[in-house]
Amino acid sequence: MEINSIVKFKQEDKLYVDFYKDDNYYIDIHYVYVNRKNEIVKIRREPFIMTTPNTICRDELIGIFKRNSTDDSVLYSILSILKYNITVNPEDVVGFIKDSEHANFLSTINNIDDIRIERTISMFQDLNDLLFVFYEKNSISEKSKSNATKKVYIYETNKHRKTIRKQYKG
């Protein structure tokens, strides 16, 4: 009698296996490139396989920035990192499906540190995303004009008083 109930439980449990939370081993990364006119120039997507389940390491993030900071010979800097991670519990799935408008799974990543992706129900893992927004940097000629540093000359005018004056020359 006991063996039959175990077999029956296992058969019923197979129906709900997609609703159990599981580790994330991959995530889709979207790259959004914005020019200086605040127009989206390009959007790219690539799958990313995590070396550690549920975590994108700081070193991997820096590698992502370096590989994707140039597009079509234009230099970009990171403007924002957004994480979309569905963290619905199995018992809340029915409520989530009925009222998904009020669910907020989008968060901003403020520090360049390890990014933790929370365990997700298996059937929702494809919805987890990481979004990198890159903003076009100034060109080298514009950068040199805006960051022109003036030389500061320091000299002594009177050795007895030890007064030091700064003179700015343009």
Give mean pLDDT, residues 1-20.
Answer: 68
pLDDT of residue 139: 59
18-51 pLDDT, tens digit each: 677 889 999 999 999 999 999 999 999 999 999 9
Q: What fold characterizes domain 20-140?
A: Ubiquitin-like (UB roll) (3.10.20)
More confident residue, 147 or 4: 4
The span from the CA of 170 to the CA of 95, in Å, is: 67
Give mean pLDDT, residues 47-58.
Answer: 94
pLDDT of residue 4: 74
79-118 pLDDT, tens digit each: 999 999 988 887 777 776 676 666 788 899 998 899 999 9
Give mean pLDDT, residues 69-86.
Answer: 92
Binning pLDDT at 50, 70 and 90, where does residue 2 land? confident
pLDDT of residue 69: 92
More confident residue, 17 or 81: 81
Binning pLDDT at 50, 70 and 90, where does residue 163 land? low
